[in-house]
Structure 1
């Protein structure tokens, strides 16, 4: 998979579902000490994050998505064995009740 600089919430949910089927972890990383309600997040901690398996996808978020997008190069240098993506729109555009439905659910 080719990883862009940003994922929207919908892309995050779709890619997480697909990648987990392939055995790849996708982790939402809180860089502002403000967890997103109804989302499984971890707090940014480079020491603990280096323990994740190679190939893990870290999706960083802040309030607007601008700071994490600007720091993406830094994150990629810090975690060369992992994939780093910024959450487009950050916490401000997160819709806590958004979910994906399978074709079978319709």
Structure 2
């Protein structure tokens, strides 16, 4: 069972939870807030008007370079996207290991 009442997911948690949630029909998006996509995984550019069109209940996992500012902005994201689950990627882009798989 995936806990969606958290502020952060590690990369491993993101990969594991994405697989489990998408098997249940819940979309999980890795949101790029710094205009710098992560190699080896699909990312979605932070564009609020487009993100608001995503299915209610979708999970948005925001990342920045270190994970610090995306975590600090969670309240803003949650206000902006009340119909979606908003989580920060712990360590951000800097801690992403492109060969880590689950």
Give me the whole-angstrom Cα distance separating, in 1, the residues matched to 2:24 and 2:43.
Answer: 20
1:87 aligns with 2:86: no
Displacement of 1:2 in angstroms is 3.4
The corresponding residue for 1:39 is 41
Match of 1:75 among 74, 77, 84: 77
Name the residue aligned to 2:59. Answer: 57
Q: 1:24 aligns with which of 5, 23, 26?
A: 26
Pick aligned residue for 1:13 from 7, 12, 15? 15
Find the counterpart in structure 2 of residue 2 from structure 1.
Answer: 3
Q: What's the TM-score once normalised by structure 2's chain length?
A: 0.96
- Structure 1 residue runs of 5 or longer lacking an equivalent are 101-106
Q: TM-score, with normalisation over the residues of structure 1?
A: 0.92
Structure 2 unpaired stretches of 5+: none
Larger Rg: 1
The runs of at least 4 consecutive aligned structure 1 residues that moved more than 2 Å come to none
Alignment RMSD:
0.7
